[in-house]
Amino acid sequence: MSRENDWFSMESLRRISPFHLVGFFRHCCVDLNELYGIRLDGACSFHGKNTELLFNKNQFNSAAKKSLKIIIKNPKIMVDEHNKLIRAANRYKKAAQRILRTDLKKLSKKGLADLCTEYAKAYHASHGRYGGHLLQLTEFENELFTKFIHSILEKKIRKHNLTESVGEAFALVSTPEKLTNIQKQEIELFNLYLELLKKPKSLKFFRKHSEKEIEKKLSSLDSSFSRKINRHCNKWLWLPYMYEGPPWEKSYFIGVLSSMARQYLTESEVNLKKGESKELIKRKRGFMKKLPLNEKEKIYFKLLSDSVYLKSYRKDVMYYACFASEKLFSEVGRRLFLSLNQVRHFIPGEIKQAILSNKFSIQELNNRIDFTVIKWINGKEEILTKEKARAFFNKVFKSMKIKKVNKLTGSTAVPGKVKGTVKVVNHPNEIYKMNKGDVMVSHSTNPNLVPAMKIASAIITDVGGVTCHAAIVSRELNIPCIIGTKVATKIFKDGDKVEVNATKGIIRKLK
């Protein structure tokens, strides 16, 4: 039996409700035991807009070590998991697309219930059972797979007298061969700007007017370009949605184009930015050619870069599906006289019964909104609310006493060395603190924090592995990044002057 004081918070999230997290925990605490004999007790807490992912620390460390042994002994298991992940994520995306193109008001009770069931099953497969979490387990707390790859790189660099540091080499070999959706959107927006450069009248309009004025008058000034921005918006507005929105609006894309126009970015400068991602892939391939690997090592390294891409792809599908689910859950709420937030606090499997028989407890849903803990002990699921939930949470989530230190270490996501002023940014409403060149310190990053990441000179996080959001985005932006420090947000505060040596994974506080 897990003791509450043996637990730890693996990650803190914002604005995610029970419906979109239960599948992950059912996989970790039930499926992994069935598939690989990995025993893990876990819990997720929901209070306000805050969510904590809680696990038994000793079990988690044992699970990570066992997962690593499984992968090292037979890496083709992860190759198979990745193939299943792609298929499951694609099914989840199709379920979301079906929701968006269906007139939900015309569905019968059974039709709506069946669509909810289809969505819930697709979600569980993509984010749970086939989510590629075996490798993720090795990374979340102690980055064991990263350290395993580091050990191989150290030997190869030393043996073959390579000039790259381990940090630089790791950043290269972990680079995915495919572009992420964030990169694709940015490239397409750059292409729109290149088209704008060829329209002197419209370009002048973007430079001289506010976003609101541009949005209001652009269709009459340049209807063709306005339609292209609309199409771009409709294609990519879901990217920052995460679990509960909001999505981007047309004004966001107009703002980015307007900013580029006011900076007088030239065609050559934009083409250089467009090519950065492909140039990084080219550099990776060049490095791999001079890094002799045996067949098994080649699989390990491919698993590393594939897992980085697939983590991003699976998350993107999740955000797209959550964007679509707002339409589905709003229709469920309309029929059951419930708010969107109340519907999101159903557990997968409960909605179908609620729709078909109108049997559910509004009080229970409201209790869950107030404070909920869903825990899995010995594979048994239990939902706690209000005082029982608070009691469990308070026993588990005790503040750690952190010693005052002037030096902190973590893992290299992107190498580089900078000095700057710390700004702690955990939520979008804290982005205003960031000035260009500041060092961004965050518990963990997410798509809503990308505007802050883009102007940072370096990024530091408490949690994460090579597949975490901060590692992926900092690589795309080519910004020095150190992840997995565990306590950076507790050690550093706004205004601290620091030296970040991401190549060596060291942060020093300056006097």
Domain stops at, among 278, 299, 327:
278
Q: What is the CATH number of the domain that holds 481?
A: 3.50.30.10
Determine the pLDDT at residue 3: 55
- Say which residue the tokens 């620091």 belong to: 498
Determine the pLDDT at residue 403: 65
Q: Cα 75 vs. chain centroid, distance in angstroms?
A: 24
Q: Is residue 290 part of a domain?
A: no
| pTM, two decimal places | 0.89
The tokens for 234 are 């409709």
Same domain, 204 and 233: yes
Q: Which DSSP letter does residue 486 get?
A: S
Taking CA atoms, 171 is separated from 192, 213, 237, 308, 473, in Å, by: 30, 43, 30, 11, 12
Q: How many domains does the chain have?
A: 3
The answer to whether the bond into 246 is cis (omega within 30° of 0) is: yes
Same domain, 59 and 89: yes
Same domain, 76 and 134: yes
Same domain, 256 and 137: no
Q: Is residue 292 part of a domain?
A: no
Same domain, 203 and 122: no
Same domain, 11 and 129: yes
Contacts of 71 (CB under 8 A, 6+ apart): 77, 78, 134, 135, 138, 145, 303
Same domain, 10 and 115: yes
Q: Is residue 195 part of a domain?
A: yes
- Say which residue the tokens 């102690």 belong to: 142
Determine the pLDDT at residue 131: 77
Q: Is residue 167 part of a domain?
A: no
Domain stops at, among 278, 294, 318:
278
Same domain, 117 and 14: yes
* Helix boundaries (H) for 27-143: 32-36, 57-73, 76-101, 109-124, 133-140
Averaged over successive runs of 10 residues, the pLDDT of the chain (511 residues) comes to 68 85 91 91 91 91 94 94 94 97 97 96 90 85 89 94 89 89 93 97 95 94 96 96 92 95 95 87 91 93 92 92 97 97 94 94 96 95 95 76 77 91 90 94 86 94 81 86 88 94 92 80
Helices (H) and strands (E) counted in the chain, each on its own, are: 23, 13
Same domain, 428 and 486: yes
Same domain, 373 and 467: no
Same domain, 418 and 388: no
Q: Is residue 274 part of a domain?
A: yes
Dihedral angle, C-alpha 234, 239, 245, 248, nearest 10 °: -50
Same domain, 454 and 484: yes
Q: Is residue 434 part of a domain?
A: yes
Q: What is the DSSP string of 334-391?
A: HHHT--HHHHHTSPTTHHHHHHHH----HHHHHHHHH-EEEEEETTEEEEEEHHHHHH
Determine the pLDDT at residue 1: 43
Determine the pLDDT at residue 486: 83
How many residues are given for the chain?
A: 511
Domain stops at, among 352, 369, 396:
396
Identify the domain containing residue 412 by its residue range: 407-510
Determine the pLDDT at residue 136: 87
Q: Is residue 159 part of a domain?
A: no
Contacts of 136 (CB under 8 A, 6+ apart): 307, 311, 465, 467
Q: Is residue 93 part of a domain?
A: yes
